[in-house]
Each structure stands twice: as C-alpha cells, then as structure tokens.
C-alpha cells in the first residue's frame, strides 16, 4: 500500500515536471529583461552593431542539417532576422519552427561579396533541399544578423 | 606476485567497465555512423515534400489570407502560426509540418518533418545536445573508453598478447589514421 502511494507521488511529480517544460533554454540563461523590436534593429542597424540585445519573435526557419541557425520573424511584415550560433554550441531543433522564441545575442554586420553570396546561398539550398539558381545573384550584399548566445523557445 | 596482482586488477576493471560501457558504445557507434554521413542525409529528421497546387489568392490582410487558404485547400487543422517572407509568399506552421505557398501562383508544398525514432535520441546524446550534466557524464564515458583501450593491451599474455600479434595490430590501428592525416 505504501509502495503504491510513493509510486503515485513519484508519477505525479514526474508528470508535473514534464508538463512544466514549456519553455526550453538553449545556451546559458538570459541576462537581459527588455526586448528590442527586430524592426528597430533592422531600420537602424548601425546603432546596434556589437551590442547585446534581446529579441522576441516566431521561429520561421531552422537549419535542417545542424540546427546552427534560425530565422526569427520581425514585428514588421515580410521581415526577419537570422540568428546564427557556433556549430554544436547551440543546436536549434526543427520542431522550433512556428514557435515563439526569445533570443539574446549580439548584432553583427556581414559584408558578403557576390561570390561568397553564391557559395553561401548554394550551401543553404543544399542544406534545405531546395533548388538554387546562381544567375539570380547579381551582386553581394550586407547582412545584419544576431550572433545567438541564449535562446528560449516555447516548445510543446 | 606483484605482476599477477596488477594484471588481475587490470582484467577485472577492463571486464566490469567494459560491461558498463556497452550501452553507450552501441549508442555512440550507431550515431557516429549516422552523423558521419551528414552530407548525404539528415541523421535526425526525415523530411518529405508534397507539392500543392491551388488557385492564386488576391492580396488581403494576412488573417483573411490564412482563412482563405485553409478553406480553399481544405485544411481543418488550425495553424500554430504563420509568416509572410514576401508579399507573394505565405508560410503556415502546423505541428510537424509547414505549408509554403506562393499565393500569386497558387503553388507550393507541404514540408513534413518527422524525427527519426531512436536515431534522433542517439544523436542527441552522442552530439551532446543535452549539455549541462550530460557533458560530464560523456567525459566520464570517454575516460572509461580510454581506460578500456589501454587496459585491453594487457589483458592477454603470450603470442596473443601485446608482445605477440597484439603489437602488429595495435601498430596498424595507429598508422592508418596517421596516413590519412598525412595524405
């Protein structure tokens, strides 16, 4: 009887713990409390380069191969920002797509030449299993992204 | 007598730590083969694409657009969220699947993602996705493997031991990776 009672308590505790796992943290803990709008960063990126920011958004894409980047939807329509992490340090699960995320990271600027862009887009297309047409890329570009340090994602 | 005692303990530890290491070695080996070929396949997920063809949709506020798409394509499930990468595109996120639609053309695809059962968990452990205390546990396992490798050299004596065939096989095992590194 006592054994059954303890078993029930243990099961309830385990279930409680599992149910509480709504937000999952990748990396260490968040240090910032206030979020910055992604649209604000992208509208005036020079004000944020090198700065540590906390952003919130829906995860709209994740690297399928190594989970080494995710794309976060901006508060502004048709806009998103790439969050890149070092391979293996943080691995974003594909299940994160469509979920709400809080990301803390450092804003970076990348100047990419046309050749580098073709190489990067080709690699991206191969990773994502998508077709790629290099003739569509006619010049390099400047990209602003977050070097991700911590992520909290609202998984199931 | 001293040698005998030393070898006895070497073999006992080799045996018992060997038993302890069986589970993780199987996990790490299978995962190792899987992730070794990451250029050829996705070791964690099976991803399927199913083309979709429907009518084009006129520009509308996104909530209206989503509702029209769900009705037109006969989707009963409510999306968890949605995103428009551009004015021509609409992505609807459901549990384990995404509908990517070009609303101007009425074409797109379902992208269905399934975790590879067992292999996903094996990779999770092997690649240390868990982090935190698993890191230390994996370090301990690595130390056990190191011990097994070294103690294994001294398990047997005579022609089947290190002094006999053992030295040749051990040398081959060391030279092969050196050759790969040199080439």
Residue B69 structural domain: 45-115
Has residue B68 been placed in a domain?
yes
* Residues B87 and B138 reside in one and the same domain: no
* Residues B96 and B122 reside in one and the same domain: no
ipTM: 0.79
pLDDT interval class at A22 (50, 70, 90): confident
* Residues B80 and B126 reside in one and the same domain: no
- Minimum distance, in Å, between the CA of residue B49 and any CA atom of chain A: 10
* Residues B111 and B143 reside in one and the same domain: no
Has residue B163 been placed in a domain?
no
List domains and CATH numbers for chain A: 22-111+142-154 (2.40.50.140)
List the beta bridge partners of residue B91: B83, B100
* Residues B78 and B105 reside in one and the same domain: yes
CA B180/CA B169 separation, integer angstroms: 17
Residue ranges of E strands in A19-135: 23-27, 52-62, 69-73, 80-84, 100-112
Q: Which has the closest alpha carbon to B114: A68, A22, A98, A94?
A: A94
CA B99/CA B110 separation, integer angstroms: 5
Tell me whether residues A60 and B83 touch, CB distance under 8 A.
yes
CA A84/CA A68 separation, integer angstroms: 6
- Minimum distance, in Å, between the CA of residue B38 and any CA atom of chain A: 7
Q: What pLDDT was estimated at residue B183? A: 86
- Minimum distance, in Å, between the CA of residue A73 and any CA atom of chain B: 7
Considering CB atoms only, which of A65, A78, A88 is closest to B127?
A88
* Residues B82 and B125 reside in one and the same domain: no
* Residues B34 and B76 reside in one and the same domain: no
Write the pLDDT tens digit of every residue in B28-82: 999 999 999 988 889 999 999 999 999 888 888 889 999 999 999 999 999 999 9
Has residue B173 been placed in a domain?
no
Tell me whether residues A73 and B127 touch, CB distance under 8 A.
no
């Amino acid at each position: 009887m006592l054994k059954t009672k303890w078993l029930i308590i243990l099961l309830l505790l385990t279930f409680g713990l599992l149910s509480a796992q709504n937000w999952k943290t990748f990396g260490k803990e968040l240090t910032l409390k206030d979020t910055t709008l992604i649209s604000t960063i992208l509208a005036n990126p020079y004000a944020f380069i090198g700065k540590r920011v906390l952003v919130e958004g829906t995860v709209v894409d994740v690297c399928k191969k190594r989970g080494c980047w995710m794309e976060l939807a901006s508060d502004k329509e048709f806009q998103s920002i790439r969050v890149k992490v070092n391979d293996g340090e943080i691995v974003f699960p594909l299940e994160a797509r469509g979920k709400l995320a809080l990301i803390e990271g450092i804003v970076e600027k990348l100047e990419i030449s046309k050749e580098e862009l073709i190489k990067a887009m080709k690699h991206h297309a191969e990773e994502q299993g998508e077709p790629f047409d290099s003739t569509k890329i006619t010049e390099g570009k400047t990209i602003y992204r977050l070097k991700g340090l911590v992520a909290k994602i609202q998984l199931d | 007598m001293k040698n005998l005692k030393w070898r006895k303990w070497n073999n006992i530890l080799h045996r018992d730590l060997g038993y302890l290491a069986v589970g993780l070695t199987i996990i790490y080996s299978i995962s190792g083969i899987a992730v070794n070929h990451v250029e050829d396949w996705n070791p964690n997920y099976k991803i399927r694409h199913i083309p979709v063809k429907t009518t084009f949709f006129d520009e509308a506020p996104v909530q209206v657009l989503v509702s029209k798409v769900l009705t037109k394509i006969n989707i009963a499930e409510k999306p968890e969220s949605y995103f428009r990468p551009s004015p021509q595109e609409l992505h609807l996120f459901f549990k384990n699947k995404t509908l990517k639609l070009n609303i101007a053309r009425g074409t797109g695809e379902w992208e269905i993602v399934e975790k590879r059962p067992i292999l996903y968990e094996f990779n999770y452990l092997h690649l240390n996705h868990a982090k935190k205390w698993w890191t230390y546990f994996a370090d301990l396992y690595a130390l056990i493997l190191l011990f097994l490798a070294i103690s294994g050299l001294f398990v047997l004596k005579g022609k089947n031991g290190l002094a006999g065939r053992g030295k040749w096989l051990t040398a081959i095992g060391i030279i092969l990776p050196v050759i790969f590194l040199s080439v």
